[in-house]
Amino acid sequence: MTRMLSKITLWRTIVALIFAAGLYATYARFALGFARATHLTDPQPWGLWVGLGTLCGVGLSAGGFAIAAAVYLLGFERYRPVLRAAILVSFLGYSSVIAGMMYELGLPWRIWHPIIMWNRASVLFEVSWCVMLYSTVLALEFSPALVEKIPWIGLRTWYLKWHHEILVGLVMAGVVLSSLHQSFLGGLYLLTKGKLDPLWYSPYLTTMFYLSAIPAGLAVTVIALFFSVRSLDVKLDPRVFGEVSRVIAPLLAVYAIFRFVDLSKNGALHYLWMWREETLSFWLEIGLFVIIPLVLLNMPRVKNNPQSLYWTCATVVGGFMANRLNVSITGLQSSSGIYYVPKWTELVPTLMVLTAAVLAFRYAVIYLDIFPKNSAKIPSRLRWTITSTAAEA
Amino acid sequence: MERTRAILVDITKCIGCRSCEAACKQIHGFPAESEAKLSPTALTVIEEHNGKFVRKMCMHCQEPACASACLVGALKKTAAGPVTYDASKCIGCRYCLVACPFSVPHYEWTKLVPYVKKCDMCATRQANGQPPACVEACPTGASTVGWRHEILEEAERRILAGGYVKKIYGSEEAGGTSVFFVSDVPFEDLGFAAPPRQPMPLLTASALGDVPAVVLVGGGLLSGLYWITQRRQAVAMAEGNTPVATTSGKERR
């Protein structure tokens, strides 16, 4: 117990520091303006808040729709124990993206404008509607976890019955909406023809963004599960890690093939061997997102070990982030003619929002029924310990 | 159909007096001092390239990337030709800055309530029958305004008369613009951008056109999958088995 307390105090200090820095950055953004709070300029109008906050935030939240579809539409019951956690992660992810929008938009109090001011020719318009609708879908999908805790049984039963009626419809809507806006985030960059580096520009940016978001979203789900078991005292059948990770490898392979064919079709293959920053960033991205995970996920030692899977998934997430930052920043650097290095006040709000999301996840797991209670009954031969410290505590 | 306004800039006639800059700044109430590059307070500037004076301003594309990018429709190609900006709609997403192949829109980074700034070809003045302020101020006739087809004919006439590079910059850039340049020096040497030849909105049109198909086919496919899953579970139930057996599910029971 004392060990846990001391651990928490360390983390509390870090969290407090992040929040303090985040609050100052918030002050800088809103009281001093973009010029003082960011290194954004006309040639680089989208920086970390779009690249990291929006593109990574939405992409990494793709686990919810994939797991929900697997359980409800495909009947893969083996994912059910982690369904709520996956939906919660996605819901918090989208909430974070919307919170991040408040920093990114120049006039955030007008964030509702797209509801009544339409431009169907705009990819961003489609993205904004899909994100609005899908956030609502996620809130509804997650709502039973909160409603269950309402003490009035009549209201509870009524809501849960009503929820059950619309659930499959919600899940289907979630899949369609996610497919649309995950692709359209890539579609945003179709207009950068001639500006975006050939290693990333493609008429199939939409497909590329979609194919990469699903494995990345699943990787985040694995990370969240590991965090729950390791730090939140959740008992989970360890095989579920393997079940979720198992699909990541083929998804990454499909993406890799598609990416390679696309690069050769666009005549961009010779860029792969040029000595320049873009190419190095490209190989960092491909190494982290495709090559290392594909090798690791084919090793039996990794496949059957939750901790190894956790690190593999962290690599996938790192590679995914490299990809989104390459598209939004690195790939546009040479055409913009300026070298954008974000200011610390750009990074910190994103970090603060992420920390808040992790805290919210933690409290939800502690106070709500996110994981099934009976899953503690794990055959003893499969009982596992992630680290000796976690087991002792 | 070509009853839209256009501007012709003849680089051979520009003497670099910057009267256009001054007139533009005056009409918008911007500080008077000249700026080197386009900015939120300089919607047109004269740049010097290889001893030539090159005027920069919004190209007023026939099918503008910015207008197709703008999610709230704040940027619009008007029937009269100018591409205008409705500040009351703008949410400050800055996608127009990302989208513009000529790097024209500029953002008020230093302001707490920032808007996008770009030339609107003096749309209100033109609606009242007046020429754009910059054209009116030009003492040498380097900038002229007129109907788009007439302006294009005039540009061709000058090129055919000799002394010019055989190209009208703007006639095919980004699918065609409403601001044209003729020059006696190749445009590559004057710092002109080389954007794609097709109208920029075409780049996103096919993806956007897929939306109804994705919704219909996706919805149908998912319903089908759900039906199959339900059917399998019903059959399994009728046969007295546990619903669609999964290893982990079975063993946990």
pLDDT score at A374: 60
- Tens of pLDDT, residues B56-106: 999 999 999 999 999 999 999 999 999 999 999 999 999 999 999 999 999
- pLDDT for B209 beyond 60: yes
pLDDT tier, A380 (very low <50, low <70, confident <90, very high otherwise): very low
Mean pLDDT, chain B, whole residue set = 92
Within 8 A by CB and 6+ apart from A58, the residues are A93, A94, A97, A131, A181, A182, A185, A213
Distance CA A217, CA A57 (A): 10
pTM: 0.91
pLDDT score at B206: 87
User: Residue A21 half-sphere exposure, CB side, CA atoms within 13 Å?
Assistant: 18
- pLDDT for A369 beyond 50: yes
* CB atoms inside a 10 Å sphere around CB B228: 13
Mean pLDDT, chain A, whole residue set = 91
pLDDT score at A5: 57
Q: Which residues on B lie below 8 Å from A383 (Cβ)?
A: none
- pLDDT for A223 beyond 90: yes
- pLDDT for A308 beyond 90: yes
Torsion sign across C-alpha atoms A18, A21, A23, A29: negative
Q: Which residues on A lie below 8 Å from B72 (Cβ)?
A: 113-114, 117-119, 125
Question: Residues A136-147: what's their mean pLDDT?
Answer: 96
Q: Which residue of A lies nearest to B193 if distances are taken between CA atoms?
A: A194
Question: Residues A184-201: what's their mean pLDDT?
Answer: 96
- pLDDT for B251 beyond 90: no
pLDDT score at A393: 35
Within 8 A by CB and 6+ apart from A315, the residues are A288, A289, A292, A293, A296
Q: Which residues on A lie below 8 Å from B201 (Cβ)?
A: 121
pLDDT tier, A3 (very low <50, low <70, confident <90, very high otherwise): low
Instruction: For residue B140, give the nearest of B19, B1, B4 by alpha carbon.
Output: B19
DSSP string across A52-69: IIIIIHHHHTTHHHHHHI
Chain-centroid distance, C-alpha B44: 16
Distance CA A375, CA A169 (A): 28
Distance CA B221, CA B211 (A): 15
Within 8 A by CB and 6+ apart from B213, the residues are none
H-type helices in B30-81, by residue range? 65-69
- pLDDT for A275 beyond 60: yes
Q: Which residues on B lie below 8 Å from A121 (Cβ)?
A: 67-68, 201, 204-205, 208
- pLDDT for A331 beyond 90: yes
- pLDDT for B138 beyond 50: yes
Q: Which residues on B lie below 8 Å from A124 (Cβ)?
A: 69-71, 93, 95
Chosen for mutation from B203, B211, B228, B247 (greatest number of chain A CBs closer than 10 Å) is B203
pLDDT tier, A391 (very low <50, low <70, confident <90, very high otherwise): very low
Q: Which residues of A152-189 are buried (b: 16+ CB within 10 A; e: fewer)?
A: eeeeeeebeeeeeeeebebbbbbbbbbbbbbbbbbbbb
pLDDT score at A103: 97
- pLDDT for A11 beyond 90: no
Chosen for mutation from B226, B227, B231, B237 (greatest number of chain A CBs closer than 10 Å) is B226
Distance CA A120, CA B28 (A): 31
Cα dist from B128 to A190, A345, B80, whole Å = 38, 47, 12
Is A140 near chain B, with CB under 8 Å?
no
Question: Residues A270-275: what's their mean pLDDT?
Answer: 92
Q: What is the DSSP letter of A44?
A: B
Is A192 near chain B, with CB under 8 Å?
yes
Q: Which residues on A lie below 8 Å from B203 (Cβ)?
A: 190-191, 193, 203
**Residue B106 · residue A42 · CB < 8 Å:** yes
Q: Quick one: which H or E segment has residue B93? A: none
Hey, are the CB atoms on B211 and A126 less than 8 Å from each other?
yes
pLDDT tier, B169 (very low <50, low <70, confident <90, very high otherwise): very high
Distance CA A9, CA A12 (A): 5
pLDDT score at B253: 34
CA A274-A276-A278 angle, 5° bins: 105
Is A235 near chain B, with CB under 8 Å?
no
Cα dist from A220 to A59, A84, A215, whole Å = 10, 14, 9
Size of the A and B interface in Cβ pairs below 8 Å? 179
Separation in Å, CA of B150 to nearest CA in chain A: 30
The percentage of chain A sitting over the pLDDT mark of 70, rounded to a whole number, equals 93
Is A170 near chain B, with CB under 8 Å?
no
- pLDDT for A7 beyond 90: no
Question: Residues A145-166: what's their mean pLDDT?
Answer: 93
Hey, are the CB atoms on A75 and B200 less than 8 Å from each other?
no
Task: Between A44 and A5, name the one with better pLDDT.
Answer: A44
pLDDT score at A382: 47
pLDDT tier, B240 (very low <50, low <70, confident <90, very high otherwise): confident
The three-state secondary structure class of B113 is: coil
The percentage of chain A sitting over the pLDDT mark of 90, rounded to a whole number, equals 87
Largest pairwise CA distance in chain A: 68
pLDDT tier, A372 (very low <50, low <70, confident <90, very high otherwise): confident
pLDDT score at B123: 95
Is A299 near chain B, with CB under 8 Å?
no
Q: Which of B71, B101, B214 sits opposite A128 (nearest CB)?
A: B71
- pLDDT for A387 beyond 70: no
Separation in Å, CA of B75 to nearest CA in chain A: 10
Is A382 near chain B, with CB under 8 Å?
no
Is A377 near chain B, with CB under 8 Å?
yes
pLDDT score at B242: 57
Chosen for mutation from A27, A48, A122, A266 (greatest number of chain B CBs closer than 10 Å) is A122
- The ipTM, to two decimals, is 0.90
Question: Residues B213-237: what's their mean pLDDT?
Answer: 92
pLDDT tier, B2 (very low <50, low <70, confident <90, very high otherwise): low
Hey, are the CB atoms on A31 and B112 less than 8 Å from each other?
yes
- pLDDT for A174 beyond 90: yes
- pLDDT for A383 beyond 80: no
- Tens of pLDDT, residues A40-96: 999 999 999 999 999 999 999 999 999 999 999 999 999 999 999 999 999 999 999
Hey, are the CB atoms on A175 and B99 less than 8 Å from each other?
no
Q: Which residues on A lie below 8 Å from B196 (Cβ)?
A: 193-194
